[in-house]
Amino acid sequence: MATVKPLPPPAKYGGRHTVTLIPGDGIGPELLNHVRELFRFSCVPVDFEVVNVCSSTEDDINNAITAIRRNGVALKGNIETLHTLPASHKSRNNLLRTSLDLYANVMHCKSLPGVQTRHNNIDIMIIRENTEGEYSSLEHESVTGVVECLKIITRTNSLRIAEYAFKLAREKGRKRVTAVHKANIMKLGDGLFLQCCREVAAGYPDIAFDAMIVDNTTMQLVSKPQQFDVMVMPNLYGNVVSNVCAGLVGGPGLVPGANYGHDYAVFETATRNTGKSIADRNIANPTAMLLASCMMLDHLKLYDYATMIRNAVLTTMNETRVRLNSPRRCSPHTFHN
């Protein structure tokens, strides 16, 4: 059965892979250092090509994009978008996603044992369209004091993301896909998205399909999140819903995220926080980034290493009964081979 994810690049001579590493700003560099330390300790056959992206120049981001095209896979921290720069300066993260056409952002929110939260037994996969919608960065000031921002929805991309969602649901043995939208207000835009989802759903009779309006969705998520299985949605609603779900399972430090395109894959934390206020204080939770690196190893078909590191991380969390927001140093010393 054809898998929905892009094929990883083959390993080089010696069986080693090269992965682009973009430290980003805030807590990105320190979290990725933990990842490198852990990989070195575990003798993972991955070499990192580090590309620093400074927020202000164009060249850096183009170098990063070229490096990812070369290596096929990347692990990244979030790059800060400074408001003080003029509006023509686009978000670097967004530029990266659109240039590489990483059209699907996948996030798996699962209640972790050992983490105290208000809701239990959450297991939601969120698939978010990653390239268009409200993030098209098309804005203009038609008259002084009046700004228009364009939200673009296309049939091609909506069909693509819906197809991705259903294929992934089938691959993982999931039972239901919920489309999140606001088609009662944005009749043409979200209406098109919903229609595309329905068309694709017709081709997967084994998977149930329903739709829910985004404001009702957030309300349901905080009262009964266990009702959701797989959710697919346009860009902005994906931003909101993924952050709500991350908060429900324990916070931004615990959930990894992946961005898949046809040819490339970039892994990062799900909620894409820069974390400036806690940077360089050794208190950032590395779990999300470590689990993202495990997802990357799975993608490179290095399943044994991925499982080993994942188990180590989850066991450490379980045994030390992590209290979120408490200072915790990443300690990859509990290892089980």
**Binding site residues, another protein, CB under 8 A:** 81, 83, 87, 89-91, 94, 118-119, 134-135, 137, 139-141, 144-156, 182, 185-189, 192, 214-216, 218-223, 236-237, 239-240, 242-244, 246-248, 251-252, 271-273
**Minimal distance, residue 135 CB to another protein, in Å:** 5
**Minimal distance, residue 214 CB to another protein, in Å:** 6
Q: Which is nearer to another protein, 70 or 187 (CB)?
A: 187
**Residues 213 and 181: beta-carbon distance below 8 Å:** yes
Q: Which is nearer to another protein, 259 or 271 (CB)?
A: 271
Q: Which is nearer to another protein, 88 or 337 (CB)?
A: 88
- Residues 84-92: contacts with CB under 8 Å, at least 24 apart: 85/55, 85/56, 87/139, 89/56, 90/137, 91/137, 92/53, 92/55, 92/61
- Residues 257-260: contacts with CB under 8 Å, at least 24 apart: 257/105, 257/106, 257/107, 257/292, 258/105, 258/106, 258/107, 258/292, 258/295, 258/296, 258/299, 259/97, 259/102, 259/104, 259/105, 259/106, 259/130, 260/5, 260/6, 260/102, 260/103, 260/104, 260/106, 260/164
Residues 6+ apart with CB under 8 A from 100: 65, 68, 69, 261, 263, 264, 266
**Residues 312 and 320: beta-carbon distance below 8 Å:** no
Q: Which is nearer to another protein, 121 or 144 (CB)?
A: 144
Q: Which is nearer to another protein, 122 or 302 (CB)?
A: 122
Cα separation, 42 vs 40, in Å, equals 5
**Residues 253 and 285: beta-carbon distance below 8 Å:** yes
Cα separation, 193 vs 233, in Å, equals 8
Rg of the chain over Cα atoms, rounded to whole angstroms, equals: 20
**Minimal distance, residue 291 CB to another protein, in Å:** 17
**Residues 176 and 208: beta-carbon distance below 8 Å:** yes
**Minimal distance, residue 35 CB to another protein, in Å:** 22
In degrees and rounded to multiples of 5, residue 16 shows phi and psi of: -100, 140
**Minimal distance, residue 170 CB to another protein, in Å:** 26
Residue 102's closest CA among 94, 111, 91? 94
**Minimal distance, residue 152 CB to another protein, in Å:** 6
**Minimal distance, residue 84 CB to another protein, in Å:** 11
Q: Which is nearer to another protein, 72 or 234 (CB)?
A: 234
**Minimal distance, residue 121 CB to another protein, in Å:** 13
**Minimal distance, residue 49 CB to another protein, in Å:** 27
Q: Which is nearer to another protein, 160 or 310 (CB)?
A: 160
Q: Which is nearer to another protein, 71 or 131 (CB)?
A: 131
Q: Which is nearer to another protein, 135 or 267 (CB)?
A: 135
